[in-house]
Amino acid sequence: MKTLIFLCNEDTEIDIRKNIEDAKKQIAAEKFYNTTWSSGNNTKIKVGDRAYLKRTGSKPHGFFAAGKVLAAPDSCQLRKQDEYNHLSEAYFNRFYGNSFMVTLHIDSVVDFDQPLEQEKLKYMPQFKGANFKFQQGGCEFDERFCESLDSAWEVHSMPLSRRGSGKRLVDIFCEKGKNHKDEMNYQDAIKAYNQALDIQPGYSKAINALNLCESLLKKQIAKKISETEEIKPDNTSEESESSNTLEPSNEVEIIENISIVSIPEKKENEEEADLLGAGFGNYQKNKEVEKAAIDFVMKQYNGWNIQSVERDNVGYDLICTKDSIVKNVEVKGVSGKEPAFIITANEVEQANKNPNFVLWVVTSALNSPKGHCWTGCEMLSQFELKPIQYMARQRPIFKVE
């Protein structure tokens, strides 16, 4: 799958601001916004290619919409003509001047005056050497920088969407899933989260919520079956009633990724600490978990240049570089299966301001490690942060002479 850049100059696309407002309304209604767009003389565009719309002409220059290439309606495909039967289903059977046209399936958009500015991207280390000058629409973006562009778009579009200056269809479906989950309509929630994953297959917020809803649905079904099969005698004694009383659950349920709904009763061993994650066990075990997690993550960056800055208190543990890509990696090791952990104010600050920040959480680090990865923006949106301690200083005592 390629990433293609399509150009938009307001001098010629005079309705673009209205089109953006229409796109926001369409996305808010849980629908893609479909539009045809000029693709220059590029004849290699395929259905499913990643697509970005870029503002040109008047400044600020930058990206204001994203989606993918859609197949043109069957009756409107240019390939139906013998002269163009070598083209994919993406090409529309009319032209924009001398340029081909394709259909775009837009799933996220921001206001035209608030694009992801290319001038800012140029100075980010992960875009060193990237070319942001495109002579015509439909140009292919250098594959070395596509992942970084997707991450930068995520960081840029998410807060704008929350403020009403944009819309993201993946957020609409996740919010719909959350509402269904809160109402215990787990089947509808699963459907909504799957719709989110159809748009963004690796979106960890949707993946984690989907897994939770599937688990809750199984419990819900099992409970209904149990209630149906259970036969209660009319003359139930106090003793039998007492034996049927539900005991408090010893499970730790996770909402989104980290919000703890119920906590297990205190045990003499460290099972509770294992469930909760990094930083809750004894010192020696925490060090072992931390080392195992670091080793696991370093293997994921095989072939990268890796520098450890664990002792430097910079808000992350590793600097991983490959070609022009830079990742500032914070690693959290968890001995249990749930991604709950302690995070410092310095690390949260990095997640807020550093576009290169990446959080890795390694669960079951000491036996069967499993890695989970989030960008800083994803971490802030998907995790609930709760204070677990405060700094206390005695107030000064002023003496009256």
pLDDT value at residue 226: 82
pLDDT at 309 over 90: no
SS (H, E, C) 41-77: CCCCCCCCCEEEEEEECCCCCEEEEEEEEECCCHHHE
Residues 15, 21, 26, 32, Cα dihedral to 10°:
60
pTM above 0.95, yes or no: no
CA 271 – CA 335 distance, rounded (Å): 10
Tell me what the pLDDT averaged over the chain comes to. Answer: 83
Residues of the chain with CATH 3.10.590: 3-164
User: What stretch(es) of the chain map to CATH 3.40.1350?
Assistant: 251-382
Q: What is the pLDDT of residues 55-69, one digit of tens each?
A: 999 999 999 999 999
Integer-rounded Cα radius of gyration of the chain: 26
pLDDT at 398: 59
Q: Is 79 helix (H, G, I), strand (E, B) or coil?
A: helix
DSSP code for 126: G
Q: Give Cα 237 distance to the centre of its chain.
A: 53
Tens-digit pLDDT profile for residues 129-173: 899 988 889 999 999 999 899 989 988 998 999 899 999 999 999
pLDDT value for 249: 37
Architecture per CATH, domain 3-164, reads as Roll (3.10)
Confidence grade of residue 208 (pLDDT, cut at 50, 70, 90): confident
In this structure, which amino acid lies at residue 58? S
Say how far apart CA 220 and CA 46 lie, in whole Å. Answer: 43
C-alpha to C-alpha distance for 72 and 89, rounded to whole angstroms: 6
Q: Which of 3.40.1350, 1.20.950, 1.10.3470, 1.10.10 would CATH assign to domain 251-382?
A: 3.40.1350
Residues 6+ apart with CB under 8 A from 103: 34, 35, 36, 37, 69, 70, 71, 72, 90, 92
